[in-house]
Amino acid sequence: MKEIYLAGGCFWGTEHYFKQIQGVVNTEVGFANGETENPTYKEVYTDQTGYAETVLITYDEQVVGLEFLLNMFFKAIDPVSLNKQGHDEGTRYRTGVYYVTEDQLPIINKVFAEQQALLDQPIAVEKLPLRNFYTAEEYHQDYLDKNPDGYCHLPTALFEYARKVSPTI
């Protein structure tokens, strides 16, 4: 199993989206690349901790590849928006790809270059090694499964798309 950490705005919808993709075996929402130890959601919400709402994605690379997951990530975000996705604003909602091994970087760079070629503004997505990650409180885990009518900045059609698309490795 491999891991990648993706910050795509509010982690409720980002997690639910990636859970639909064949080959994603586990997701966990939390906070990445901040400045304090063991932050709570209430602390992160102040935008004073430096954390981004992030989803840890564990995937089976025999079923789905990192390149595919990253291209799916770009379908779910506004890549030129800084610290804002949908109606959610603040540094905690910034977008980012946080990698855990150096061998992931060439794939990440390839996808960023391909995505940048499609845009007329610079990509505002962070591309950094993972410094730290703290799991969010239990009520945030699988939030949209527990609260099907809960808030989400992503359109429901995107979840259906993720469920139906065939992954590539």
Residue listed under structure tokens 């939030």: 143
Task: Write down the catalytic residue from 6, 10, 72, 152.
Answer: 10
Whether 152 is a known active-site residue: answer no
CA dist., res. 119 & res. 5, Å (int) = 23
Read off the DSSP letter of residue 104. G
For 44, residues 6+ apart whose C-beta sits below 8 A from its C-beta are: 31, 34, 51, 53, 92
First CA to last CA distance, the chain: 13
Nearest to 84 by CA among 120, 53, 41: 53
Residues with catalytic roles: 10
